[in-house]
Amino acid sequence: MSTPSAVAATFERHFGYAAPLLVRAPGRVNLIGEHTDYNQGFVLPAAVDKELYFAVSLSEKAQIRLVSHDLNETCAIAPDQVHRTETQWANYLLGVVAQLQKRGVAVPGFDCVFGGNVPIGAGMSSSAAVECGLAFALNQLLGTGIDKMELAHAAQKAEHEYAGVMCGIMDQFASLFGQAGSVVRLDCRSLEYDYFPFDTQACRIVLCNSGVKHSLADSEYNKRRQECERGVEILRRHYPQVQSLRDATLEQLETHRDELGPLTFRRCAYVVRENERVLAACRHLEQHDLAAFGQQMYASHAGLRDDYEVSCEELDVLVEAARQVPGVYGARMMGGGFGGCTINLVAPEQVEAFIGQVGAAFEQRFGRVPETYQTTSVGGVSEIGPGGR
């Protein structure tokens, strides 16, 4: 796993001079609020201490030279020739350059080495950290003064246009706007946001990786979006003010249950309830009530499993096993579904017991031990000072 000093040393070795700018870009978790983003609802992410590090310098050469420290691969391209390439990791970076150019920024040649310790495929949004880290670094070096929300939009568009992933804004937002000891509630419609206290002394965030790849995720994700849109279409005939499920109520859904049909009803009811859970969870954080917050997480998982139907057996086993361990406040599947990780809130003194017990239950059922990652909330993308942060 890379460190800032290892990335800086690789830069010096590769390019023959020292890099003036070191940047850290955190991954993220989402505590609650799943599949609400594209329904213009609420999400509750936190930036976490699994991070990518960047060494970046402007160059007099008319070339963008990129080095992936962890893959030991390189990519070079002229600034006026930026396009999608066969090198997938480079596309996330080149997409950011293209977005800055679209905003009228004259991006000169530059040299960049990046690497870090965000686990790939664990649902911590390593891709958003790649995009936001470079966007921040170039914004600093070129003195373009683009604000953080616009950088988040640029990074999101980079992912749409260069990586081909139609993600919401949450991942990039969380990487840029994270605060240590806090989670941030984002309104995915207005982009207004509020910070809520998250006591890192009382609670660790532990992810358990089911080891199941999201093979169904893309096709089913699109299907869920369509099912939600169909629900909105039906409700709007009766309630013109319903522009998205964010505007719908359970009472409205119940009234038109027959017209919606059982499947669309369940999908829509999950989203409406999940938005309510996010708002309730934030009230519990203000009251420092982690146990009540955890109950919202369990309810979220049940909804994702039964009504939205995006869980899988491995995720369900991990959540049920977590319930049996003392000191676990709450657990649920995190992300698009059909695999990936569960997110668990665990009292610090119980983390070792939690990892042992949940690992044993999972191994008994599936014959292998799940990978686990301990994290805590940190600040968003920033320059790394002499002290390492």
Set 49, 111, 171, 247: catalytic member: 171
| Structure tokens that stand for 330 in this block | 């709450």
Residues 376 and 76: their CA atoms lie apart, in Å, by 36
At residue 208, the 3 state secondary structure works out as strand
Q: How many CA atoms lie within 13 A of 276 on its CB side?
A: 12
| Structure tokens given for 282 | 């934030």
Count how many Cα atoms sit within 13 Å of the Cα of residue 380 in the half-sphere of its side chain. Answer: 23
Catalytic site includes residue 37: no
For residues 359 and 353, what is the distance between their CA atoms, to the nearest angstrom? 10
Dist. CA 240–CA 322, nearest whole Å: 43
- Residues pairing with 344 in the sheet: 206, 331
Range list of H helices, the chain: 4-15, 88-102, 126-142, 148-158, 170-177, 217-238, 250-255, 257-286, 290-306, 313-323, 351-366
Residue 64, strand partner residues: 77, 110
Q: Which residues are tagged catalytic?
A: 171
